[in-house]
Amino acid sequence: MSQEKRIGIFDSGFGGLDVTRAIVAALPEYEYLYLGDTARAPYGDRSQETIYAFTKQAVEFLFAHDCELVILACNTASSEALRKIQQEYLPRYAPDKRVLGVLIPAAEDAMEKSSGKKIGVIATTGTVASGAYTRELAKFDQGVQVFQNACPLLVPIVESGEQDSPETFTVLERYLAPLLREHIDTLILGCTHYGILESQIRTIVGPNVTIISSAAVVPDKLRAYLARHPELEAGLSKGGSIRFFSTDATDTFKRLGSKLFERDIEVEKVSLG
């Protein structure tokens, strides 16, 4: 049996490579496996039941490939599946393994930085419908006001490489207008793909709204988590490599994934379930 102990990163597709790049840059010493469920993406409009079933299969795959710790880079999976995995699946089937999401780190950072506790969230339909951001933000402060908007057009826009078009700017303006009318002071980019739209979003929201993105937040939170769990950290292999798995190793995954990861990636095709 392999002695490797890795960090697994899961996303519904390749969008999670954005936060993966930031994690690997900040913590280059560990061994990583990235898994994108491209064949079944997007998850954003699927039912909670399906998202849980798919995410569980992905976590099982990563555990079977020597991952001690799995990060759900996907906001939709973090919103719809993480709690059940942590509360029901892990205690029963993998009590020594850990699964973390990207939602709590973003919520925590937003609460630290928000001046007026008026926080906007843009995300997929599934993430917004789950109410997970509202719930997690309220845990820090019951008085927080959360304004959410589902942005179902943004993932297809990014995946078709249209992020810089004038039409995209118009779509973003439409999605952000209801949040700006509420005078939000902080905006959470609650989806893997939205980091790539950050400069357009900044232009629309102006300089006074703090933007929270996974890539900027998760690496430091992960470092702090590992420092709080020295027994886990000491057991992780230090080799500095990363492998990429996808359930549908398409040219798009390679092309857009390489762009998000800022390095050419080779993808190995695997099946889940």
Binding flag, residue 124, ligand DGL (CB under 6 A):
yes
151 among known catalytic residues: no
The residue from 41, 74, 111, 249 that is catalytic is 74
Neighbours of 108 (CB within 10 A): 17
HSE at residue 23, side-chain half, CA atoms within 13 A, is 29
Question: Catalytic: 67?
Answer: no
Q: CB of 85 within 8 A of CB of 53?
A: no
Taking CB under 6 A as the binding criterion, the range among 6-14, 26-34, 111-119, 200-208 that sits at the site for ligand DGL is: 6-14
Determine the interface stretch with ligand DGL among 8-16, 112-120, 225-233, 265-273 (rule: CB under 6 A): 8-16
What is d(CA 241, CA 258) in angstroms, rounded to the nearest whole number? 16
Site string for ligand DGL, 148-167 (x = CB under 6 A): -------x------------
Indicate the residue type of 17.
Answer: L
Which of helix, strand or coil describes residue 262? coil
Residue 125 CB, nearest distance to ligand DGL (Å)?
Answer: 8
Q: Is 136 in the site for ligand DGL (CB under 6 A)?
A: no
| CA 126 to each of CA 137, 149, 180, 190, 196: distance values in angstroms, whole numbers, following the listed order | 17, 11, 22, 11, 20
Buried/exposed code over 205-224 (b: 16+ C-beta within 10 A; e: otherwise):
beeebbbbbbbbbbbebbee
Stretch that binds ligand DGL, among 133-141, 186-194, 216-224, 262-270 (CB under 6 A): 186-194
Q: Does 129 bind ligand DGL (CB under 6 A)?
A: no
Active site residues: 74, 191
Contacts to ligand DGL by CB under 6 A: 11-13, 15, 41-44, 74-76, 124, 127, 155, 191-193
